[in-house]
Amino acid sequence: MAPNKARIMLTKPAPVKRSQHTKNSLFDILNMVFMFLLMGSIIIPYFYVFMVSITNEILVEHFFSVNTRITFSAYKNVIFANKDFINAFIVSTGRTVIGTFLNILFTCMIAYVLSRRVLPGKNIILTMMVATMFFSGGLIPSYIINSLLKLNDNYLVYILPGLISAWNAIVMRNFFQSIPDALEEAAIMDGASHFRILFSIVIPLSMPAIASISLFYAVSHWNSWFDSIIYMRTTSKYTLQVFLRRLVMENANMQEFTGDTALIQLTPEAIKNASIIVTTLPIVMVYPFLQKYFVKGIMIGAIKS
Amino acid sequence: MKGRKHNMSIRRKSTSTRLKDMGKYGQLYILAFLPIVYFAIFHYMPMLGIIIAFKDYNPLTGFKGIFTSRWVGFEYFKDFFGSYFFSRVFFNTIKISVLRIVFGFPAPIILALLINEIRCKNYKRIVQTISYLPHFLSWVIVSSIFYIILSPSNGFINQVVKHLGGETINFLGSDKHFLGVLVSTGIWKDVGWSSILYLAAISNIDLSMYEAAKIDGASRFQNIWYITIPSIVSIISIKLILSVGNVLNAGFEQIFLLYSPLVYNVADIIDTYTYREGLVNLNYSFGTAVSLTKSVIALGLIIMTDKATKKIGMGGLW
């Protein structure tokens, strides 16, 4: 069963190897060094960005010099002093929370229907849904349709076009199918409606799958920026990612940070780097704890397909 | 609905039973209704909208215009193939994709094989956790980080270069270096996450094969070469087919966020060109024609590669 294999994969190396050699060979040492360098390549850029944000310097040798003081005022400015940042943060958070909730709701609805054993027309619906994974209108026709639906400059464009991901719906459907029929039959005997069965039985029993899929949807919302760029006209409706990009690449809003209202003379670099760190903070903080759900989600999806 | 039991007998269904069935199914249809409407509006209507590639569509004519604009046949397709930038854009797309496949396709496989060889359980877990992380950062964040790190005069990398006595390099602005940065940052971001699939497949390998090999005195490398790799060949071929089918995509998000007019001649791909000419410049019909061309070619490639891998015996997609 996939969930058990997930646990084995993450916690045990292939057992047979341990009995082959008792010492680490040269290969093992090189491997560990290689992994160390790999991790370093991931951590060092991040660390550099962090150091710039707290020391207000950009040259590496200045980070550790005696004259440099560590200060978090870049963060104070970014988070608390700038209305546009707070705005964008709220937009992104709202989008992630509301969007993910609706994603899950509708995905579960269609997954439940498609997981029923007998339903006239089920295969037609399934094929219709799967087809959307391979064919799509493309950027421009979608843009045109969305504009005609008055989704331009409208918060709904963050939620509606991506409401259900066919792939996630299929993963969810497979999970629902693995729930024993006896439970549902008992409920039907007791006169439960499908709505009841879905919300009181199937969903509570599918929490692991729902957790994983919610995470995929949530991360996708949090990281979205392209739809923000092409549909939004007012800057207050931009997501946090767009705000970040405009700040880093185009120096937008910079005046507010480093101008006369600033408490300490902060360099634009410190501001930019602090913004990057703040934007990544939710994901980096939440990620280690939820890693297992992400991995399980991928494996449920991949192995079943 | 309450109190109705399953009708278990074999007799032919009477009308009242059929109506009861409809009642039961009715709830399911109600549940499916909104999702189906969603797919119809947001996925199938745009598919319908593809016909504007063959028409002279004016955005101001709105929805009706999709159907009432005049037919121009393949005019926009000819425009695209004949345009000044066609060969550049097409060539760049293929070149970048090929680079990504040559360097980026084996990377997660090799990483998976190496991670699988790590002895220490905790070290393995740490490596996995850290290497998966960049996948979850958006390209906006990753491109911003690299924009800062690769900054021409004072970026971190250039500081290192200066220390080693070299000249500063304008990574993102020079067409000699841009592609290298593109492919390597692409790998950096996704190699960990992509390796999960292969690790999962490796963990499914029957352990008795390794035991048999041990009895025969196989070395670790022989284990990997003769057992591990052949066992994951079918997954590799599926992913390879998908990569080849994807060859005209070349990673729009990443390129869009990292490129600039300075590097258009190596970095402009079909999608970025479509975005600028088709969307921003309001040439909707033209842009749609370009996208459609891309999709058709991609489909052809998938089918060809599928047939090819079946011929060499690696198994196909279907």
Q: What is the pLDDT of residues A19-46, one digit of tens each?
A: 445 566 888 888 899 999 999 999 999 9
> Which residues in B lie closer than 8 A to residue A143 (C-beta atoms)?
279
> Which residues in A lie closer than 8 A to residue B287 (C-beta atoms)?
139-140
Which among B6, B124, B140 is the nearest to A188, CB-wise?
Answer: B6
Helix (H) or strand (E) holding A217: helix A207-222
**Residue A260: pLDDT above 60?**
no
**A49/B210 touch (CB, cutoff 8 Å), yes or no:** no
> Which residues in B lie closer than 8 A to residue A148 (C-beta atoms)?
62-63
Which among B48, B126, B154 is the nearest to A58, CB-wise?
Answer: B154
Interface test with A, best of B34, B37, B39, B57 (most A CBs within 10 A): B39
Which of A139-148, A290-299, B28-37, B114-123 is least confident? A290-299
Kindly report the number of other CB atoms within 10 A of residue B317's CB atom: 14
Question: DSSP states of chain B as a string?
Answer: -TTPPP----SPPPHHHHHHHHHHHHHHHHHHHHHHHHHIIIIIHHHHHGGGGGB---GGGHHHHHHHSPB-TTHHHHHHHHSTTHHHHHHHHHHHHHHIIIIITHHHHHHHHHHHT---HHHHHHHHHHHHHHHHS-HHHHHHHHHHHT-TTTSHHHHHHHHTT-----TTT-TTTHHHHHHHHHHHHHHHHHHHHHHHHHHTS-HHHHHHHHHTT--HHHHIIIIIHHHTHHHHHHHHHHHHHTTTT--HHHHHHH--GGGHHHH--HHHHIIIIIIIT--HHHHHHHHHHHHHHHHHHHHHHHHHHHHTTS----
**B123/A148 touch (CB, cutoff 8 Å), yes or no:** no
Interface test with B, best of A105, A140, A290 (most B CBs within 10 A): A140
> Which residues in B lie closer than 8 A to residue A9 (C-beta atoms)?
199-200, 203
Q: What residue type is assigned to position B62 of the chain? A: G
**Residue A15: pLDDT above 70?**
no
Q: What is the mean pLDDT of residues A63-91?
A: 81
Alpha-carbon gap: A249 to the closest alpha carbon of chain B (Å)? 8
Higher pLDDT, B89 or B63: B89
B123-153: pLDDT as tens digits: 898 999 899 889 989 999 999 999 988 888 7
Q: What is the mean pLDDT of residues B261-276?
A: 90
Q: What is the mean pLDDT of residues B87-116?
A: 92
Does ipTM surpass 0.90 in this model? no
**Residue A99: pLDDT above 90?**
yes
| pLDDT-based confidence at residue A159 (cuts at 50, 70, 90) | very high
For residue A222, the model assigns a pLDDT of 93
**B291/A139 touch (CB, cutoff 8 Å), yes or no:** yes
Tokens in use for B71? Answer: 């037919």
**Residue A285: pLDDT above 70?**
yes
Tokens in use for B287? Answer: 């842009």
A residues 49-108 near B, CB within 8 Å? 49, 52, 58-60, 106
> Which residues in B lie closer than 8 A to residue A225 (C-beta atoms)?
138-140
For residue B35, the model assigns a pLDDT of 94
> Which residues in A lie closer than 8 A to residue B153 (C-beta atoms)?
none
A residues 100-159 near B, CB within 8 Å? 106, 109-110, 112-114, 116, 119-120, 125, 128-129, 132, 135-149
Alpha-carbon gap: B5 to the closest alpha carbon of chain A (Å)? 6
* Calpha distance A272→B159 (Å, rounded): 19
B49-59: pLDDT as tens digits: 888 888 888 87
Q: What is the mean pLDDT of residues B82-94?
A: 89
* Calpha distance A42→B124 (Å, rounded): 16
Q: What is the mean pLDDT of residues A145-156?
A: 90
**Residue A255: pLDDT above 90?**
no
For residue B188, the model assigns a pLDDT of 93
* Calpha distance A92→A237 (Å, rounded): 9
**A273/B62 touch (CB, cutoff 8 Å), yes or no:** no
Query: Chains A and B: how many Cβ contacts under 8 Å?
Result: 263
For residue B19, the model assigns a pLDDT of 58
**Residue A1: pLDDT above 50?**
no
| pLDDT-based confidence at residue A12 (cuts at 50, 70, 90) | very low
> Which residues in A lie closer than 8 A to residue B184 (C-beta atoms)?
none
For residue B16, the model assigns a pLDDT of 62
**Residue B218: pLDDT above 90?**
no
For residue A235, the model assigns a pLDDT of 87
Interface test with B, best of A92, A144, A181, A290 (most B CBs within 10 A): A144
A residues 12-51 near B, CB within 8 Å? 12-20, 24-25, 27-28, 31-32, 34-35, 38-39, 41-43, 45-46, 48-49
**B35/A109 touch (CB, cutoff 8 Å), yes or no:** yes
User: Which range, A175-179, B38-42, B63-67, is most confident?
Assistant: B38-42
Q: What is the mean pLDDT of residues A113-127?
A: 89
For residue B307, the model assigns a pLDDT of 84
**Residue A13: pLDDT above 70?**
no
Which among B117, B120, B203 is the nearest to A9, CB-wise?
Answer: B203
Q: What is the mean pLDDT of residues A47-58?
A: 85
**A276/B115 touch (CB, cutoff 8 Å), yes or no:** no
> Which residues in B lie closer than 8 A to residue A165 (C-beta atoms)?
none
Q: Number of C-alpha atoms within 13 angstroms, CB side, residue A16?
A: 16
**B140/A28 touch (CB, cutoff 8 Å), yes or no:** no
**A230/B48 touch (CB, cutoff 8 Å), yes or no:** no
Residue of A nearest to B280 (CA): A230
**Residue B315: pLDDT above 70?**
no
B157-193: pLDDT as tens digits: 888 888 888 888 888 888 889 999 999 999 999 998 8
**B27/A295 touch (CB, cutoff 8 Å), yes or no:** no
Burial (0-12, 13-18, 19+ Cβ within 10 Å), B18: exposed
Q: What is the mean pLDDT of residues A270-296?
A: 83
Question: DSSP states of B84-98 as a string?
Answer: TTHHHHHHHHHHHHH
User: Which range, A90-94, A180-184, B219-223, B226-230, is most confident?
Assistant: A90-94
Percentage, residues of chain A above pLDDT 90? 31
**Residue A102: pLDDT above 90?**
yes
- Give the mean pLDDT of chain B: 85
Q: What is the mean pLDDT of residues B203-224?
A: 85
> Which residues in A lie closer than 8 A to residue B38 (C-beta atoms)?
106, 160, 163-164
Alpha-carbon gap: B131 to the closest alpha carbon of chain A (Å)? 7
